[in-house]
Amino acid sequence: MTTYQDYQIVKSLDEAFQSLSPGEDLPCLVAGGTDLLLELQQGRHKRVNRMLDIHSIPELLELKIDNNQLLIGAAIPVSDIACSPLIKEHAQAVSDASALIGGPQVRNVATLGGNVAHALPAADGMIALVAMDAMALIASPTGFFEKPILQLFSGPGITTLLPDQIITRFSVKMKEKGEGSAFRRIMRPQGVALPILNLAIWIKRDRELIQDIRIVFGPSGPTPCRAVLVEDVFRGKNWNSALLQIGIDAISSTVKFRTSKNRASAEYRYQIAKYLFTQTINDAWEKAGQDNNNGND
């Protein structure tokens, strides 16, 4: 079955927006396409006639620090993200999550932009970006605008982006002293290689004080969301094991997990969430504390 009729690779945003001009049969945007092309081939996505490949637009490939922000181009292959020292330094959760997306060959093609635009509730890269409180820079025919990443989603597989809007990059605040992040997930060896549960945590600490924290479980709802009530347990408190237990209890009472047939029951997700949370928060806490030892800023 022919997946699409026309596949156009554009080299600039201008060229992209020419093809996205209104009135015509609007093309479907594709970056790595590793998920999208399969969905088309397998009839899980509505048929499209035209595809607009944006993976080689220079603005989407930038990776740099600018004005205290780490800028991550939306079309950088995730294998490059996984081995970038810059991303490891400033957004460890994104680095760790990227190393786990798909398989090695897929990572050489797949992009973070695609991972986010696919809008699955447990996409590893996306979950990590949410924990990093990333902003997405979006190009549209009328200009650029920024959106907090959480405002990009309106349902499972559905974004708030219009068909002629392109995510060009994500920005994450540069790491400051006392900050750290971690990402972990739990899989099952049978069935589709999606995490049963994944978790990204970002922490800002001052010695034993948790100044700020962001916690994101996936999947925990139709769209990605932060476990804000669990965060509230920790924010402004001193780190200790009693606090950890209160946080764990807050997961059971405030985070919404569901049952996925043939994959995991909600009960199982709640059980493993405790373990996953303990591991991940310890990890993030230690990373946030590393600066205290080596003075690295």
Partner 1 sequence: MAMINFFVNGKFIEIPTIEGEMLSDLLRNRLGLLGTKIGCNEAECGACTVVIDGKAILSCNYPAQKVQGKHVLTIEGLACRENNESENLHPLQEAFIRYGAVQCGFCIPGQIMTSYALLKQIPNPNIEEIQYALKDTLCRCAGYPSIIAAIQAAAANAETGRAIESPFIPPAQLGGKIVGQVHIRPDAVLKVTGKAIYSDDIKFEGMLHARVKRAMVPAGILLKCDVSKARVLPGVISVLTANDLKAERNHGLVIKDWPVMVGVGEQICYVGDALAIIAAETREIASTALELIEVEIAPLQAITDPVDSHNPKSRLIHSQGNLLKHIKVRKGNIEEGFEKSDIVLENTFKTNPNDHAFLEPECTVARLNPEGRMEIYVGSQIPYADREQVAAVLGISEENVRVIGQLIGGGFGGKEDITGQIHAALLARETGKAVKLLFDRQESLIVHPKRHATQITVKIGASIEGQLIAVQSTLYGDTGAYASLGEKVMTRATTHSSGPYEIPNVRADCFAMYTNNPPAGAFRGFGVMQSAFAVESMMDELAEKIEMDPIKIRKLNALRVGSLTNTGQLLKESVGLLECIEKVEKALFERAGSNPFTPVEDPNKPEIVRAWGFAVAYKNTGLGGGAPDKAGAEIELLENGVFEVRSASAELGQGLPTVLQLTAAEELGQGTDAVRVLLSDTDLTPDGGPTTASRQTYVTGNAVRFAAKSIRQLLISELSERYDVSPDRITFIEGLAQIGDQKVPLGKISSILRSEGIIPKVLYTYWAPETKPLGDGGNMHVAFSFAAQAAFVEVNRFTGEVQVPEIIAANDVGFAINPLGLKGQVEGGIIMGIGHALTENFILNQGHVVTDRMASYRIPSIMYTPKITSFIVEHPTSDGPFGAKGVGEIVLIPTIPAITNAVYNAIGVRVTSLPIDQEQILHHSQIMQM
Residues in contact with partner 1 by CB under 8 A are 1-7, 9, 33-34, 37-38, 41-42, 51, 53, 55, 79, 102-106, 108-109, 186, 188-193, 248, 262, 264-265, 268, 271-272, 274-276, 278
Closest distance between partner 1 and the C-beta of residue 209, in Å?
A: 24
Closest distance between partner 1 and the C-beta of residue 103, in Å?
A: 3
CA distance 183 to 100: 10
Query: 9 or 162: whose CB is closer to partner 1?
Result: 9
Burial of residue 14 (CB within 10 Å: 0-12, 13-18, 19+) is exposed
Query: 63 or 109: whose CB is closer to partner 1?
Result: 109
Closest distance between partner 1 and the C-beta of residue 143, in Å?
A: 29
Query: 154 or 252: whose CB is closer to partner 1?
Result: 252
Closest distance between partner 1 and the C-beta of residue 104, in Å?
A: 5
The answer to whether the CB of 102 falls within 8 A of the CB of 92 is no
Query: 58 or 148: whose CB is closer to partner 1?
Result: 58
Query: 99 or 172: whose CB is closer to partner 1?
Result: 99
* C-alpha count within 13 angstroms, C-beta hemisphere, residue 182: 18
Q: What is the DSSP string of 185-209?
A: EE--SSSSS--SEEEEEEEEEETTE
Spatial CA neighbour of 187 closest among 195, 176, 199: 195
* C-alpha R_g of the chain: 19
Closest distance between partner 1 and the C-beta of residue 255, in Å?
A: 16
Say which residues have a Cβ less than 8 Å from residue 260's Cβ, sequence separation at least 6.
Answer: 196, 219
Sheet holding 50-53, edge to edge: 6-9, 50-53, 28-30
Closest distance between partner 1 and the C-beta of residue 13, in Å?
A: 19
The answer to whether the CB of 124 falls within 8 A of the CB of 97 is yes
Query: 6 or 146: whose CB is closer to partner 1?
Result: 6
Closest distance between partner 1 and the C-beta of residue 215, in Å?
A: 17
Say which residues have a Cβ less than 8 Å from residue 132's Cβ, sequence separation at least 6.
Answer: 91, 93, 94, 172, 173, 181, 200, 202, 214
Query: 196 or 216: whose CB is closer to partner 1?
Result: 196
